[in-house]
Chain A
Amino acid sequence: MIEWEALGSVLVAGLILGAGLPALFALGVKMITPVTADGVSYVSPVRRLLGYLCFAICILAVVLGVVFLAHGGHS
């Protein structure tokens, strides 16, 4: 009665996207948050770049989501 295969796929894909994307976003936030060392707080260019990269992937995911909807994916 239960389609275990479909269910398993939903769980795995749901975890990758549903938990992975928030994690990526959180990583981005962590990267652009100034770190304090020796009393000076700063963000290194590398961290800033990595942070923006994380956000870019998240935005891309949202855009892909809209494309998915527009193609009648959700019905």
Chain B
Amino acid sequence: MTLLVLVVMTALAFDFTNGFHDTGNAMATSIATRALKPKAAVTLSAVLNLVGAFLSLAVAATIAKGIVDANVITLEVVLAGLVGGIVWNLLTWLFGIPSSSSHALVGGMVGAVLVHVGTSGVIWSGVVSKVVLPALIAPTLAIVVAAVGTWVVARLTRNVPAEVQDRTFRWGQIGSASLVSLAHGTNDAQKSMGIILLALIAGGQASADSGVPFWVIIACASFMAAGTYIGGWRVIRTLGKGLVEIDSRQGLAAETSSAAVIFMSSFFGYSLSTTHVATGSVLGSGVGMPGAQVRWGVAKKMFLAWIVTLPAAGAVGAICYGLQHWISGTAGSVVVFALLIATSVWVFVHSRRAPVNSKNVNDEWDAPEVPSVSPAPVTAVPAGSVPAGSVPAGSVPAGSVSVPAFVPASELYEVRG
């Protein structure tokens, strides 16, 4: 019973991290282009996630279906897998890296299963076809779609005044971003519902053919909405400001591309990670916009994190399962849960060193360059000829900076194709 309670609590915690890790997928672009105020954006996203969770209740009681052998999944495995997923979500959040929550969960499960029954418990072809390949395909598809969209939009609106562009496209952005948020709610909240339902069935608290209890729906929906509202500002900042400097037209094209690719991939039965699609779309909006710059260095760091997601979350899942098994019994699960809390606190304390919040989420990505100050003229002054502390007229005291250096050239203000 204790184990069941722990699994349910951990599943809700995962749901929460999923919400705040993925807010940026839908809202980062709207925040960056100021289509919505930061707080308004996360509120809208939270409400839509909540609505989405109730909108469609096609919950399947499966975890990592086709990736790990369903017969070897025990509550201990689920707990270890969830902890693996949460820890990876928290670490990537700390570094502001958008990474797939569902891949993290799958990774944690795979790691736990490996320790539980060995390699026979993992369906490796499923790992390749459902995790590895989609992680390569999703961003590629999204880059292409968003780049084409952005290019066409830029071409059509090149004679439209900037303020008209912003006024109109910001509305469009809100519409397309809302769809992505709603899709996230219908899809990801149900994953947690499925996990809890499975745990309840395994723990004998629900019959195998029962539907999702109402309290589970309420709990999952509200935990995800709460996470979304807290807002993963670090991830939002990377997506909205770090990869590409986007304007409202790019924002609309990127978010519509995300929505279209996500919807179409599920329509054609090809499940792709929302995070990978959203990130690809933002990159594509930079590729397609004439004159825009993409910070490929930031993107490279992200791609690396995506490759590492499965093994890293898997390692945490494996360690957690090993620890549970070694201590054995309820005590083992309690220790793992305590470690999860300790890790979360550690990550939180670290995040406070350089906090990102609704106030500074839109700050310039590159710290403003320190203008070079010409060294104060050093003239050989005979000692005693000038009273100490007096400054010769006309000379600039060291450390002060001439004002024009701070004002960027006008063409740097707005680069619009």
Known contacts A29-B160, A30-B157, A58-B175, A19 near B253 by CB under 8 Å: yes
Known contacts A10-B268, A75-B190, A23 near B149 by CB under 8 Å: yes
Interface of A is mostly: helix
Determine whether A69 belongs to the interface, using a CB cutoff of 8 Å to chain B.
yes
* Chain B 140-181 per-residue mask, 1 if CB under 8 angstroms from chain A, else 0: 010011101110110011011100110011001001101100
Inter-subunit contact A14/B257 (CB<8 Å):
yes
Q: How far is the CA of A32 from the CA of B212 in the complex (A)?
A: 49
Q: How far is the CA of A33 from the CA of B182 in the complex (A)?
A: 31
Instruction: Tally B residues with Cβ within 8 Å of A.
Output: 57
Determine whether A11 belongs to the interface, using a CB cutoff of 8 Å to chain B.
yes
Inter-subunit contact B56/A72 (CB<8 Å):
yes
CB within 8 Å of A: which B240-254 residues: 249, 252-253
In the complex, which residue of chain B has the Cβ closest to the Cβ of A18? B260
In the complex, which residue of chain B has the Cβ closest to the Cβ of A25? B172
Inter-subunit contact A19/B152 (CB<8 Å):
yes
Inter-subunit contact A26/B153 (CB<8 Å):
yes
Determine whether B410 belongs to the interface, using a CB cutoff of 8 Å to chain A.
no
Q: Which residues of A contact B168 (CB under 8 A)?
A: 25, 28-29, 32
Inter-subunit contact B149/A22 (CB<8 Å):
yes
A31 to chain B, nearest CB (A): 10
CB within 8 Å of B: which A16-40 residues: 17-23, 25-30, 32-33
Known contacts A6-B268, A18-B259, A33 near B161 by CB under 8 Å: yes
Interface of B is mostly: helix
Inter-subunit contact B145/A29 (CB<8 Å):
no
* Chain A 33-64 per-residue mask, 1 if CB under 8 angstroms from chain B, else 0: 10000000000000000000000001100100
Inter-subunit contact B148/A74 (CB<8 Å):
no
Inter-subunit contact A17/B260 (CB<8 Å):
yes
Q: Which residues of B contact A29 (CB under 8 A)?
A: 156-157, 160, 164-165, 168-169
Q: Which residues of A contact B129 (CB under 8 A)?
A: 1-2
Ordered by A's residue number, 14 sampled pairs between the chains whose C-beta atoms are within 8 Å are A2-B129, A6-B269, A9-B268, A10-B141, A10-B270, A15-B148, A18-B259, A19-B148, A22-B153, A22-B172, A23-B156, A26-B152, A68-B267, A69-B182
